[in-house]
Structure formats: structure tokens, C-alpha cells
Amino acid sequence: MRTSNQSPFTFPVFHSFDCLESLRLLREAPLKLIDQNCSDLLLTERVGMGCDFSKYTACCMDTEEDGHPAPEDQVDGENEDNAVEGIELPRFHEFTIDQLRRATSGFAVENIVSEHGEKAPNVVYKGRLDNQMRIAVKRFNRNAWPEAQPFLEEARAVGQLRNQRLVNLLGCCCEGDERLLVAEYMPNDTLAKHLFHWENQPMRWAMRMRVALFLAQALEYCTSKGRALYHDLNAYRVLYDDDYNPRLSCFGLMKNSRDGKSYSTNLAFTPPEYLRTGRVTPESVTYSFGTLLLDLLSGKHIPPSHALDLIRDKNLQTLSDSCLEGELTNDDGIELVRLASLCLQSEPRERPNPKSLVAALIPLQKDSEAPSHVLMGIPDGAATFPLTPLGEACLRMDLTALHEVMEKMGYKDDEGAATELSFQMWTNQMQETLDSKKKGDAAFRLKDFKTAIDGYTQFIDVGTMVSPTVYARRSLCYLMSNMADEALNDAMQAQVISPVWYIAFYLQAVALLAMGKENDAQMALKEGSLLESKRSTN
């Protein structure tokens, strides 16, 4: 076993002339390798989009106008980049605040994914559109973009990008003082979580190199589309999709405010030219990419200046991750150090461009045929969380079991239910409303689902009182009556009223299974099981 002061490989000393010579060789390397081996990797795909914390550096973008198609409208032949590996993403759409409020259950605190930014604070929420597409919604501080037009122009420009290496921007909202971005939802955490704060196993070298290549490809794509600038590129901007493929967040393609800083306050990770001029350039992005390469090599967040000192002094035992013993060859380690050193050159013009980085990273790929979830140690990408017994019953579409559970729990999950019943004699209308609910409850207990639907519908239509349990019970009645669409609508309404109620997610899952939407159903089952497990441990 290697002790903590040993390195899994040996490195040469990197002086400035070594880096410049390496850069010359890298720039002169044939680029056919990209065309031959990577053309199939530069297409497109779908999270969340996600955490936004900043610890190091990156960049920005330009603007362009676009129309306003409905979110369900699919792309046509005018933009082939919108087709992501056979999955058509909706074109960029301008949402209303009511649509996004509904999608996030009223911007419920339970749906917060991340909060970030001291000078221009913003919050990212997870949500679901009416068509069941999962989304991430970034809500800016009211003062971040005081003028609507600059925000719209920035968002529309980013919304033209479609690539499998990006978390794609689906739309925005610019209504009154509200400024929001809507992106794909990425459900499987960030690079920072998997690299720095892993729980079960460290990230394998093959996966680390896949992350590096995919990010370089994302930057190359953005550069080819005229979007070479990216703000605050760091390990929290890299998110994992359903299949555990790493994606670059589209949120970094826009600043956090019209006049916001492009880098975090941690000057140790800021490109030197930004300290001199305050301007972001494409070369600044390359510098930030170099810090990510160091992260992947070390498994730690080491300031670039310190890392370069270690490289020059051959003191690399603290730079290389001890968890990589047996996986990292001497040649691969030397090559990654060389690329990081090139990216971190003090003179911007001496840094490689994204296309050169892609060409240099392709030979470092290992186990290229293995799916990402396998490299991440996830045996089955669809079963990343064990289902509870009730979750398993819902997966089997065992409606009888679900009925028994809901009958037993009654109305204890209704917030304020006791208060509502305490003024039941105020008016005749109130009494009639409660009578219709009692009629529905009696029929629900006897499994007379048609009568139960009628009773609950009378209660809901009056609108005097709101009950997530009534919506949930009517949803199950619809499922028992083979009315999946109606059941899904009621289950979603129950979730809007009670965002962390696991029964609402289970009902959505069963309805989605009945509609043949298995992927969405799996996510609803996972969320339901997570919430149920959390409830049982509290």
C-alpha cells in the first residue's frame, strides 16, 4: 500500500519553456482526431439543473432575438441542434410567472436546490411543467436585472444552444420585476459532491477523464456557436443527468446580474488578467478549466499558484489523489499535469483553445464503451434509490394497497384540517360542502369510486376549503376508474398544496405508469420514497 507521502506516478519538472514548447506541439497536433473519434459526441441531450455555488472561476455571452413558441412545441428542421440524441427538446419559451409558480408548488422552500450570491443573490428550484417535464428554475434577486430587455436578450441567446454536453436552457420569465431562467433538471448532484464529498467510493480515473473531455466538448460547442464566455466555471457548475453523464450548466452562460462580477471573491482562483483589467475573455475560461483539471487530479480544491509550485518542485504527493493508486499511469498523470499547466499560463495567449483541449483529452479516455453510471459505481441508472414497500406496491400498480394506506392515514396530512372543521356550522353552504366530503369519504371507504368522485368533486368545486387529501383520494378513484389523465392532474394538485407529501408523488407515479411514461414514473417513485423515508426517520 502506498503511504500518504507517496505519489501514484512521477512527474517531470515543468518550467515556463516546457509549457510553451508543449503548447506549440499541442497546437501543431493534427485535429483529424476530433472529426474521426468525436463527431458522434458533439450532438445533444437533456437537470436539473442545479447547484450554483461558486468557489473558483469562468465567464459570459452575447445576445440574439427569438420567437415565443409554446413550451410543448417541438423543434422543426430549422435547428438540427435542438434534437438531442433522438430526444426533441422544446424550443426556447418565455414562461409566465404563474406557470413557474405552479411548476414549483409556489416556489416552495422544499423545492430549493441551491442558493447563491451575496451581491446578487439567486435561488434555484426544482419543478415540473404541466407536460411533466422536470425543470430547474433560477430566480434572480429583484435588483439583479432592473431592465427587462438586456435580460431577455441574454436569455434568448443562450436559449439557442442545444447540446448533449450542456444542461440546456429551455426558457425564461421576464414579467414585472421577476427575472427567471428555466433549464433541464439534473437529478444526480454536482461534480463537487462526487469528487470532494463522496460517500461510497471515490471517483475512478476513467470517469474523471470523461468529465474533463465532456466539459472541453461543451466549451468547444459554445465557442463554435459564438458563446465563448462562461461565468464562474467550477465543480458546482458540472451536473449529472439521469444516466450520470456530466453536463455543463447553462446558468453560467449568463451573469448573475447586468453589472455583476464574473468571478467569485476568492482571488486565488481568479485569472491574473481579470485582476489587472476586470475583463473576461475566452482565455479566462481556459484558465478556469485548468483549475478543474487540478481538481480532477487531486480530488481536492488546490489554488492554482500552489499547484504550479508543487509541479515545479516535483512535490506532487499532495497534488495527486491517493485514491487513484493502481488506476493512474505515469504517462497519463504527466499529460494531465501538462494540460493543466498550459491552461494556467499567466499570459492568456499562451493557453490552448477548447478544440485543442478536446484533441489532447481523447487519448486519455479509458473504458470508453462503459456507461457513465457504471463508471460511477451505480449498477442500474434507473434504480439509484431503494423504494419503500409502498413505493414497490406503486411500481406494481397495486391500487388496493394504496387504497388501504390512504384509508388508514385519513386526513392527518391536511394542514389546518381541524381549523376548517371547527367552523362547519357558519353557513348552510359550509354544511353542504362538508356533507359532500363526508359522502365522498363514505363511498371511498366502501370502494364505490364513482360516487366518491361525485362527492369529492362537489367539495372541490365549491372552493371554500382546500384539502390535499381530497385531491389525492379523488386521484385514486380516477385510477380505479381507468382515468389516468384526471388522476395525474389531481395528484399534481395535491403536490401543489402539500409539496413534500409522498402520497402525491406515488399517485403521480401510478398515473404516469398507466400512461406509459415509465421514466417520469421512476423519478416520481424515487422522490416519493425519499420523502417517505425522511418522514419515517423524523
Q: Residues with catalytic annotation?
A: 232
CA distances from 82 to 62, 166, 371 (A): 19, 12, 23
Cα-Cα-Cα-Cα dihedral sign, residues 71, 77, 82, 84 = positive
- Is 59 within 8 Å of 262 (Cβ atoms)? yes
- Beta-bridge mates of residue 362: none
- Is 501 within 8 Å of 468 (Cβ atoms)? yes
Determine how β-strand 122-128 pairs with β-strand 169-175: unpaired
Determine how β-strand 178-184 pairs with β-strand 169-175: antiparallel
At position 421, the amino acid (one-letter code) is: L
At position 383, the amino acid (one-letter code) is: A
How many secondary structure helices (H) and strands (E) does the chain include? 21, 11
**What does the chain come to in residues?**
538
Q: Which three cell numbers stand for residue 139?
A: 430566480
- Is 394 within 8 Å of 525 (Cβ atoms)? yes
| Half-sphere exposure at residue 96, Cβ-oriented, CA atoms within 13 angstroms | 5
User: What single-letter DSSP state applies at residue 261?
Assistant: -
Task: Give the Cα separation of 524 and 134 in Å (integer).
Answer: 10
